A and B are shown apart, each in its own frame.
Chain A
């Protein structure tokens, strides 16, 4: 699948799940650059272009984020809340990819305006659906929180 101009950021602390994500992307033939950070603080640093992430050519701003919820230091909701308060980043599409099927997590994520919510593991068909919907999200357009 050819996805022009998409850059993905995966926020995931479990190496196995990172592996399964990359495996599923490969199986789905999604070839866009995918950067990985392993905790909430790193995600914020990356998105802010701070410290080791200051080089935007090496660490370009993503066009979509796959975000786990249970993370060391700052969790997924902390990252989401922070994101919603950054004027330049508040429209960035976020897809939750988590081990939790708890309804309270789904509700909280929905309240914070995410594009989609998936329970791990990532599968090729799921990723194809996500990339399809990303192509239909106009850049900088307000997010429709009722999509899922």
Chain B
């Protein structure tokens, strides 16, 4: 020992064996007066460890984010860590020695006596969530754990309290709950039934409407309870389709009946989509069932009424066809049988005129000629009526027709349209039209013969035929020098059996112009007439131009 100091010394040492405390002091040898050094070394290992543990624990308490507080059984704060200062805003100097109740909002003051009472009984309070007040008055959501503190003899002398600020967690939870509430409000109030299921298809939740409609409880419906409200004829197929969708992880859609609480089934269009997590794994399924019963009923009613309509149309078409074919038969019979007596009448009268002429008095010849004319007129009438009725019930197929050729043929056919009996002046070119050629020939001959018929006594009919383009249609004019038709009679001229003459020699059937109008209308055209009732008539018909001549209005060919 190399202690040379005249002063006492103290020294601590620590090695792997433990901690040692050495105290040394010089003393005078009473025998020889020599200065001696007395040194005493103690093993302080245990004492050291306790001290270190204290420091360590204190450091933990100080560095904790949680508030760690102790209080005695009167509720007086006895220690206050840095976490408590941070959370509640009070420094240790401000709070130690004051009642813990300064932290408690007035409406929760009743909590503290209850907590203290439990502590006295030796109970702990674990993760109790409550509200406390900061120094600045703001309220905090905290989770507290309070444990009794006992002395060496086991008497409860106070409490330690660990408090954690859970305001953020609480508001996150709050937000989640609100979001959930919103979802539920929505899910319960949409018009569809809705539900969710696990990734394996096990139902976990149904909305209010599902439960109300089916008259079941969530407990009854969970798992595979849904099968009980399905129709036995459909449940197997529905189950299979669901399994398919689950296996493939694809959207599911199906239509099936579900039984309501009244025991009646309604039809639902049902869809479900997989809900995936951020890794794309299916976590659950969300599905809806939309009541389409009315839609289906409407569709069915529509189809039924459509079918009824179809049936009725067919029925009517059939009866119409029957009527038409009866009409055809009637016309056919008329054509054959009604004309036979007229033919016989004319035939015999002609034979008498030809073979017995020398035996006849002039009056007899006149009467026979009247019979021949009457027969001819009857035949013409029958033919015209037939033509008119045929036009009324048939559709005409339209083709491009060379109007100039039709007009030339008609004039060729009737001597009364040729010199010397008439002058027919054709202003070329006559534009081609879209028409049914036989009907157009009939129209043209009726118009020309009509034009030639009504001239004042002693005049030769002069007829002008020309075309012009009007509003993209071809208008054929037939102008005569006849007696004309007074404007007040013009509306009647195209009617059936209308004759605006009393001249017995005119021999018209009264159907000629009606045939003109009917045929032209059947060909999509129009007819008309201009006359002052004095200086002839100008009849016109309008038809579509033949396709190649659509642009004739501006073309030099047109004029």
Contacts and interface: CB of A to CB of B under 8 A. Distances in A.
Contact of A14 (B340, B348, B383, B438): B340
A120 B343 contact: yes
A50 B517 CA distance: 54
A106 to B, nearest CB: 12
B351 interface: yes
A47 to B, nearest CB: 23
A23 B351 CA distance: 9
B335 A16 contact: no
Interface in B324-341: 331-332, 335-337, 339-340
SS class of chain A's interface: helix, strand, loop or mixed?
loop
B384 to A, nearest CB: 12
Contacts of A20: 343-344, 347
A100 interface: yes
B340 A100 contact: no
A100 B332 contact: yes
Interface in A80-122: 98-103, 120-121
* Most A-side CB within 10 Å, residue of B339, B383, B438: B339
Contacts of B383: 101
Nearest to B333: A70
Contacts of A17: 340, 343-344
SS class of chain B's interface: helix, strand, loop or mixed?
helix
Nearest to B351: A23
Interface string B329-366: 00110011101100110011001000000000000000
A16 B331 CA distance: 22
A99 B343 contact: yes
Nearest to B354: A27
What band does the interface of chain B fall in when counting residues whose beta carbon is under 8 Å from A?
A: 10 to 19
B378 to A, nearest CB: 13
A14 B335 CA distance: 15
Nearest to B387: A101
A102 B328 CA distance: 11
A102 B335 contact: yes
A17 B342 CA distance: 12
A100 B347 contact: no
A20 B340 CA distance: 12
Contacts of A120: 340, 343
Nearest to B355: A23
A19 B355 CA distance: 15
Contacts of B351: 23
Contacts of A102: 331-332, 335
Nearest to A69: B336
Interface in A7-27: 14, 16-17, 19-20, 23
Nearest to B331: A102
B344 A16 contact: yes
A119 to B, nearest CB: 9
Contacts, number: 39
B343 A101 contact: no
A120 B339 CA distance: 10
A65 B485 CA distance: 51
Given A14-B340, A16-B340, A99-B340, A121 B335 contact: no
A124 to B, nearest CB: 11
A99 B379 CA distance: 11
A123 to B, nearest CB: 10
B332 A16 contact: no
B269 to A, nearest CB: 56
A120 B344 CA distance: 10
A23 B343 CA distance: 14
A70 B337 contact: yes
B335 A100 contact: yes
Nearest to A103: B438
A102 to B, nearest CB: 6
Contacts of A121: 343, 347
Interface in B285-342: 331-332, 335-337, 339-340
Contacts of B344: 14, 16-17, 20
Contacts of A100: 332, 335-336
A45 B383 CA distance: 35
Contacts of B343: 16-17, 20, 99, 120-121
Contacts of B348: 16
A48 to B, nearest CB: 26
A101 B340 contact: no
Interface in B109-164: none
A99 B347 contact: no
A4 B287 CA distance: 100
Given A16-B347, A121-B347, A99 B339 contact: yes
Contacts of A16: 340, 343-344, 347-348
Contacts of B331: 102
B347 A101 contact: no
Contacts of A101: 335, 383
A14 B336 CA distance: 11
A26 B89 CA distance: 145
A135 B339 CA distance: 32
Interface in A35-61: none
B157 to A, nearest CB: 127
B23 to A, nearest CB: 149
Interface of B: 331-332, 335-337, 339-340, 343-344, 347-348, 351, 383, 438
29 contacts: A14-B344, A16-B340, A16-B344, A16-B347, A16-B348, A17-B340, A17-B343, A19-B347, A20-B343, A20-B344, A20-B347, A23-B351, A69-B336, A70-B336, A98-B336, A99-B335, A99-B336, A99-B337, A99-B340, A100-B332, A100-B335, A100-B336, A101-B383, A102-B331, A102-B332, A102-B335, A103-B438, A120-B340, A120-B343
Given A99-B340, A102-B335, A121-B343, 16 more contacts: A14-B344, A16-B340, A16-B344, A16-B347, A17-B344, A20-B344, A20-B347, A70-B332, A70-B337, A98-B336, A99-B337, A99-B339, A101-B383, A102-B331, A120-B340, A121-B347
